[in-house]
Amino acid sequence: MIFAIPPLVAEPIFQIGHFPVTNAYINSSLAVVFFLVVGFILRRKTAMIPRGLQNFAEAVLEFMLKYLDQVTRSRQKSLKFLPIIGGIFLFILFSNWVGLLPGVGSIGRWIVHEGRLTLVPILRSANSDLNLTLAMAVFAVGLSHVLGVATIGFFRYANKFIKLADVVRSFRRGGMSIVTSLIEFGVGFLEIISEVAKLISLSFRLFGNIFAGEVLLTVMLGLVAYVIPLPFMFLEIVVGLIQALVFAMLTLVYLTMATAEVPQAAHH
């Protein structure tokens, strides 16, 4: 049986002007439309006594708040971060699980590429596109800095990384304080490098796990079409949940740390 390993790069299906619309982008757009429709329905049919979909949505939100409280230690912060963390978690989870539905990755159009007949699927798991995972990582890390500056002020937040004021004061005091401040100044640059590392780890972890799952399922379905791939499908359901949880919780940790007040002792 012939099967094709999905390429690393999402395939373009059509173009809008100079903008290529890829199969992964179509899947991510479907996820956005799904949540917009659900949100519109919930807004139109909100009742004092929740039933059906509203009851389920409220249970999910309450469940999320409990987990957020364990990290933030503040219900006020949890409510502030809930739309961000909840949105990221549900979007990633929905995108991961939709990518496992029949037809995703297998229904498409045949084209001739490099002299070979190749199937270009119309739908592809959204998080198997590095562009999407990198964009979400940039959003998560960038938002943590924006909220950090908005919460504790620009100079106090910048002092978490580059302690310029401490360096200036150390030159006035002289002695070992100069050496200590220069070391802290160097550590600040390492902190900046670690922020870049966050982008790489967040984006590549999600992309790598989802793309590897697609490759695994493609190989198993190519070898044995029935029964045998079912355990691997279940495994990918679990992996999709874990990856959504990891990405969301790491984002929550970044937001919580960025908005934490700088201890007064750090200024002396």
In the numeric block, which tokens belong to residue 152? 């504790």
| pLDDT value, residue 135 | 94
Can you tell me the distance from the alpha carbon of 125 to that of 28, in angstroms, rounded to the nearest whole number?
8
Mean pLDDT of 226-247: 86
Closest CA to 160 of 194, 209, 135: 194
Give which of 35, 56, 70, 124 is closest to 253, Cα–Cα: 70
In a domain, 6, yes or no: no
Number of structural domains the chain divides into: 1
Contact 185, 171 (CB under 8 A): no
25 within a domain of the structure (yes/no): yes
pLDDT value, residue 160: 76
Kindly report the pTM of this predicted structure: 0.83
Q: Could you tell me if residue 260 is inside a domain?
A: yes
> Is position 236 within any domain?
yes
* 1 falls within a domain: no
Q: What is the pLDDT of residues 181-207, one digit of tens each?
A: 666 666 767 778 888 899 999 999 999
Is residue 113 within a helix (H) or strand (E), and if so which, with residue range? strand 108-113
Q: How confident is the model at residue 142 (pLDDT cuts 50, 70, 90)?
A: very high
Q: Determine, yes or no, domain membership for 108.
A: yes
pLDDT for residue 266: 43
Question: Per the domain annotation, does 60 fall within a domain?
Answer: yes
Please write the tens of the pLDDT for every residue from 53-110. Answer: 888 888 899 999 998 999 998 889 999 999 999 999 999 999 999 877 877 767 777 7
Decide if 16 is inside a domain: yes
- Domain, as residue range, for 244: 12-267
For 39, the 3-state DSSP assignment is: helix
Give percent above pLDDT 90 in the chain.
34
Q: Who has greater pLDDT, 210 or 155?
A: 210
Q: Is the dihedral of CA 91, 96, 100, 104 positive or negative?
A: positive
Closest to 99 measured CA to CA, from 120, 122, 117: 122
